[in-house]
Amino acid sequence: MWSKRSNTIKLLLLLFLVVTVFGTALAQEKKDPNAPIKNLQFQSAEIRSVLTFLADYGGVNIVVAPSVKGSVTIRLNDVTWRQALKIIGDTYELAVVDEDSYIRVLPAEEYRKEVTEQHKHEKEQRELEPLETKIVKIANSTSDDIVKAVESLLSSRGKATSDSRSNSIILQEVPSNMPTVLDYVKQLDSPAKQIKISAQIIEVSSNELEELGINWSASGTHTTSSGIVYDQTGEVNANLGSTDPVGRYHITTLQHGWSVDAIVEALVNSGKGKVVAHPEITTIENKEARIQMGSKVPIKQFDQAGNVTITFEEVGTILNVTPHITAENQILMHLRPERSTFKFDPNGVVINTNNAETNVIVSNGSTAVIAGLTTNDEVNSEVGVPILKDIPLLGRLFKFTQKRQESRDLVIFVTPTIVENDLAMNTDGM
């Protein structure tokens, strides 16, 4: 009898121990609902039961729409309950929507219709609500430029008007969209950087340039993504066989620290070159700076009624520069140099034009060189015996007129420099 009781007590203790250990294991498993499920397998299981299991495992509230029906057959390993829920939704055309304190599961088509109806309702509400009006003062740009960019952000009822006199924008927009538009205007009205464009324009006779014996060359290295380094060189040699060269120069890339003035001085002091102009102009980023030296030539034209009208064409040296600041203080310049001359013809005025258009990237304070703008001029010179050639009438016997074609090259050095904000403010204050 006592032996039976002892065996019963031992059995009960064993069962208690097993239940305790199993319960502890379940409690530990429930403590981490984000732990992956080692093996998740369902065969033709009712979909609502599967969703209920995932809700219990993840400790979340899942609300299933009445129209969700069918069975599920899946076999997944090492997935979280959230991943399993998404896989079931994608596979069986269900939308899984996270709300504030629960998860909704409904057919994807119903959800799309719901979202469409919601957007339609919000649009109707915006059509009914009164417009809000604000006047925004533009500080660092022009109101006309800002308005063009803002119009794309406005709703169908919104309107933006520029007031050029006060450099302000009048905004009329629904209240719900007004903060977005105001934030966009604030970003567009950020202070623009200023760039000083310094140009040296030199005119050199082509023949005399050869006599100078200038050796234009550039060298450098290029490193590929694989680490291979290639040496690069390039040069253009003038006639270095002159018997009496003024000097020889070896010019590499004109980076920061090189003196362009020294190069110009060597050309000018030798008497072989002439500085046509040394203009400096400051512009803001992405705005064109224009330097023009020359004259305006009147040209007669006929309108549709046969009346004579006069238009003026700019002739001379024109340089258009549009700077843009890239990363690490690099400056991208869109350059459009032009050189033109004119002469009268029995049929009118003939304008000869040489121009180019290019983009170049230089470092802040570095120099870009533009050359090759060549003109051919007819030069008349009078040669004769001094004093005697100046005698009236008889002087013609002691002199003659010589005509020759002279080719002249225009060399332009363009140096962009970023103007610091504090320096720009001091300049504006002056």
The more confident residue out of 281 and 376 is: 281
User: Do 109 and 141 fall into the same domain?
Assistant: no
Determine how β-strand 103-107 pairs with β-strand 62-64: parallel
Q: Are 430 and 227 in contact (CB under 8 A)?
A: no
User: Do 261 and 308 fall into the same domain?
Assistant: no
Q: Name the residue range of residue 356's domain.
A: 273-419
Tell me the sheet residues that pair with 204: 273, 409
Whether residue 94 is contained in a domain is answered as yes
Q: Domain holding 106: CATH number?
A: 3.55.50.30
Entry pTM = 0.49
At 216 the pLDDT is: 45
Residue 297: Cβ-neighbour burial (10 angstroms; 0-12, 13-18, 19+): middle
Residue 164: helix, strand or coil by DSSP? coil
| Whole-number Cα distances in Å, 372 to 78, 210, 354 | 71, 14, 9
Residues in CB range of 69: below 8 A, 6 or more apart: 47, 48
User: Do 415 and 285 fall into the same domain?
Assistant: yes
String of DSSP letters for 355-383: E--EEEEEETT--EEEEEEEEEEEEEEEE
Residues in CB range of 70: below 8 A, 6 or more apart: 47, 92
Which among 27, 32, 81 is positioned nearest to 53, based on CA atoms? 81
Whether residue 124 is contained in a domain is answered as no
In tens, the pLDDT along 361-380 reads 888 888 888 776 666 666 66
In tens, the pLDDT along 390-400 reads 777 777 766 76
User: Do 261 and 281 fall into the same domain?
Assistant: no
User: Do 49 and 173 fall into the same domain?
Assistant: no
Whether residue 16 is contained in a domain is answered as no
The more confident residue out of 90 and 354 is: 90
At 258 the pLDDT is: 47
At 405 the pLDDT is: 67
Largest CA distance in the chain: 167
User: Do 279 and 415 fall into the same domain?
Assistant: yes
At 348 the pLDDT is: 76
* Least reliable range by pLDDT among 43-57, 297-311, 370-384: 370-384
Mean pLDDT on 102-119: 91
What whole-number percentage of the chain has pLDDT above 70?
Answer: 69
Nearest-angstrom CA–CA distance, 283 and 320: 12
User: Do 358 and 297 fall into the same domain?
Assistant: yes
Mean pLDDT on 86-100: 91
User: Do 346 and 311 fall into the same domain?
Assistant: yes
Place of tokens 């927009």: 173
Whether residue 108 is contained in a domain is answered as yes
Determine how β-strand 71-79 pairs with β-strand 330-345: unpaired
At 9 the pLDDT is: 59
pLDDT(67) > 70 = yes
pLDDT range class, residue 265, cuts 50, 70, 90:
low
Determine how β-strand 250-251 pairs with β-strand 215-223: parallel
pLDDT range class, residue 87, cuts 50, 70, 90:
very high
pLDDT(428) > 80 = no
Highest mean pLDDT (candidates 2-6, 87-91, 306-310, 399-403): 87-91
Whether residue 106 is contained in a domain is answered as yes
Structure tokens at 326: 């890239």
pLDDT(182) > 60 = yes
pLDDT(252) > 50 = no
At 312 the pLDDT is: 85
At 46 the pLDDT is: 92
At 176 the pLDDT is: 83
Structure tokens at 363: 């470092």
At 93 the pLDDT is: 92
Whether residue 427 is contained in a domain is answered as no
Tell me the sheet residues that pair with 316: 294
At 400 the pLDDT is: 64
Determine how β-strand 168-173 pairs with β-strand 132-137: antiparallel
Radius of gyration from C-alpha coordinates of the chain: 41
Question: Which amino acid, residue 305?
Answer: A
User: What is the signed CA dihedral for 135, 141, 142, 146, rounded to 10 degrees?
Assistant: -70
| Whole-number Cα distances in Å, 241 to 146, 153, 214, 236, 244 | 60, 67, 11, 14, 9
Residues in CB range of 4: below 8 A, 6 or more apart: none
In the listed set 268, 286, 317, which residue is the last one of a domain according to the structure? 268
User: Do 150 and 279 fall into the same domain?
Assistant: no
User: Do 182 and 224 fall into the same domain?
Assistant: no
Report the chain's mean pLDDT, rounded to a whole number.
75
In tens, the pLDDT along 285-295 reads 888 888 888 88
- 110-113: long-range pairs with CB below 8 Å, 24+: 110/65, 110/67
Whether residue 17 is contained in a domain is answered as no
Q: How many domains does the chain have?
A: 4
Q: Are 245 and 215 in contact (CB under 8 A)?
A: no
